[in-house]
Amino acid sequence: MGAIKMLIALVVMLAVAGIVFYFAPDNIKEQGLAYISGIPFLPAEVKKAAEDIFATPEYKRGKLLQELETNLGTIQKTVEENVSAPTQAVKAIERTKEIVEEITKLNDDPTFIKQITNAVTEKLVDSGKACPTTGN
């Protein structure tokens, strides 16, 4: 009986933590997902499920851009190794890499409203002790 109660308590605690994490600010979600992705013993299915549930659009775009950059590097290396490859293909790949870099810069540059929201959220989280409306 004790093991069943412990298992139920664990499931309830994970559900509560998941709900809190779901409604957390985007920057906290991204830090949490980066931490989860870095855990070597965690199964890939669990990491994928966490990303599907908690990932913000910015985080998803960042991961896709990173994968795109890796794939472009592989393609460019293959094209350059092929002696008969036309230079237009190499130029197109280089231009595509430049576009990816520009998109990455835009993705990393938050909008004005997002900057304000993050600043306010950090102030509220840091204050933690006093409620702004009641002073308690």
CA-nearest of 74, 3, 60 to 26 is 60
Q: How far apart are CA 72 and CA 66, in angstroms?
A: 10
* Residue among 46, 60, 48, 47 nearest 107 (CA): 60
pLDDT band at 124 (very low <50, low <70, confident <90, very high): low
Give domain limits for the chain.
1-55, 57-111
**pLDDT one-digit tens code per residue, 37-60:** 888 888 888 888 887 777 777 777
What is the C-alpha to C-alpha distance for residues 29 and 130, in angstroms, rounded to an integer? 24
pTM of the model: 0.51
pLDDT of residue 113: 62
When pLDDT is cut at 50, 70 and 90, the band that residue 126 belongs to is low
Instruction: Report the C-alpha gap between 98 and 92 in whole angstroms.
Output: 10
